[in-house]
Structure 1
């Protein structure tokens, strides 16, 4: 029998806890008694813990009573994971993790593991909205931004919220084979393996900075005229700079090259049109500045992991 423990703290995200637990619970229907998962919850405080949605959950035991060598220890995310430090929990994790076979996080639970120094030297991920924050806060971790989940040695981390279900399905597949995991996925009405990564959910471009500079003026001009052709030289001319100086200044201020910005802006414009209109792909490609459906399809597949048609089918 495999033992799985989920650590709970104030302001955790309820679905981060419930999604993976349901996967293991449903898997038990297909397993012999001695192969089933024994799932328990561990609380950082006595009494009920309030999830971020307002639901109160009574954990099976307080963390000071949890001294077992679990097969899998998971930390959910939620506002409490990235807004609070939870020093007693960090101390407990330092003692508990060496005893467990595998540990991991759901969504922003990675911030708690990071505060405990348990991400250093590992490939990890989290919800796409928080990857930049995770990178800055824990520079010794190798944060990947487009993965649904990652397993690196004895550490498993997942992207946002429902990605915890993907992580748990992967655990079931490793423990009991793909067939059992597929059966569980069918019960939950989820895909065993999703097409694409987190990029399909996250915008490629961040908002243009409010402070007016030659670079932000060029960015806003490009966004207003995406159906036109742009080159480094044209953008540099709009900023009254040489192409070389403009490229360096742009990369320093925006964190990407001018052409990466242009490509990302075009993909985001196309995504918006695919989600909100029934325009033919040829028209979407023209309005977004791709020039052809073929070019748009190539860049979508490369950056999003889906074709424009697949993206429209999933998100419109």
Structure 2
């Protein structure tokens, strides 16, 4: 029997806990009793743990009394993970992780592991909206930006919310084979391995700064005229800078090259049209400035991990 423990703390995200729990629970239907998962919830205190949606959960035990050895120890995310510090939980994790064969997090639970020093030197990920925050908070971690989940030695972390289901299915597949994991995925009506990464859910571009500067004027010009063909020389001329100075200032202010900014802007425009219209792909490619469906398809596949047609099927 494999022991899986999930830590609960005030303001955790209920689905981060419930998703993996359901995966392991349903997997037990297909396993002999000796090979099933035994699930334990561990609270930071003896009282009910209130989730961020208002539902309260009574943990099986609490960190003050737990001395278990686990095959997998998971920390869910939630506002309580990134808005609060949990010194007692962090201290307990540093004693519990050595007693566990594997450990990990769902969504923003990575922040709790990070504060406990358990991400240092490891590849890890979190919800796409918190990638930059995690990277800045824990510079010794190797933060992945697009993966649904990442395995690195004994650490396994996942992206946002439902990615905890992907993580748990991957664990079941490793423990008991793809056939069992696929059976669980069918019961849950989810893909065994979803197409594309987290990038398909997140905007490619951050909002343009409200500050009026030569660089923001160029950005807004690009966004207003995506059907045009752009080159660095014409953009530098718009900013009234030399090409070299413009390229350096653009990267400093925006965090990407002008070419990367234009590509991202075109992808976001195409995504918006795919989500909200029934326009043919050829028209969308033209309105977004790609020039051809083939070029649009190549960039979508490279940046998002799926084609424009597949994107429309998922989000349109």
Same fold (TM over 0.5): yes
1:105-127 Cα distance to aligned partner (Å, 9 max, x none): 00000000000000000010100
Structure 1 position 221 matched with structure 2 position 221: yes
1:77 maps to 77
Count of residue correspondences: 316
Per-residue Cα deviation, 1:84-113 (whole angstroms, up to 9, x for no partner):
001100010011111100000000000000
Secondary structure at the residue paired with 1:41? strand
- Measure, in 2, the Cα distance between the counterparts of 1:206 and 1:262: 13
Asked whether the equivalents of residues 45 and 64 of structure 2 are also in contact (C-alpha less than 8 Å), the reply is no
Q: Distance in 2 between matches of 1:36 and 1:64?
A: 27
* Aligned ranges 1:1-316 → 2 under 5 Å: 1-316=1-316
Deviation at 1:254, TM superposition (A): 0.7
Q: Please report how far the alpha carbon of residue 162 of structure 1 lies from its aligned counterpart in structure 2 after TM superposition.
A: 0.2
Q: What is the SS of the residue equivalent to 1:270?
A: helix
Alpha-carbon deviation of 1:262?
Answer: 0.4
Instruction: Provide the rounded CA distance (Å) in 2 between the counterparts of 1:113 and 1:210.
Output: 35
Deviation at 1:211, TM superposition (A): 1.2
Q: TM (normalized to structure 2)? A: 0.99
Distance 2:207 2:65 in 1: 47
Deviation at 1:234, TM superposition (A): 1.0
1:65 shift after superposition:
1.3
Q: Deviations over 1:61-95 (max 9, x none)?
A: 11111111111000000000000001100010011
Secondary structure of the corresponding residue to residue 222 of structure 1: helix
Where 2:28 maps in the other structure, the secondary structure is helix
TM-score w.r.t. the length of structure 1 is: 0.99
Q: C-alpha distance in 1, partners of 2:216/2:137? A: 27
Q: Secondary structure at the match of 1:101?
A: strand
CA RMSD between the two structures: 0.5
Partners of 1:302 and 1:153 lie apart in 2 by 27
Q: Measure the CA separation in 2 of the matches of 1:118 and 1:14.
A: 23
Secondary structure of the corresponding residue to residue 64 of structure 1: coil
Runs of 4+ with >6 A deviation: none
CA distance in 1, matches of 2:194, 2:232: 36
Superposed displacement of residue 242, structure 1:
0.9
What CA distance in whole angstroms lies between the structure 1 residues aligned with 2:124 and 2:178? 23
In structure 1, C-alpha distance between the alignment counterparts of 2:242 and 2:285, rounded to whole Å? 30
* Deviations, residues 269-288 of structure 1 (Å, cap 9, x unaligned): 00000000000001000100
Q: Which runs of 5+ in 1 are unaligned?
A: none
Gaps of 5+ in 2: none
Distance in 2, Cα, partners of 1:175 & 1:144:
24
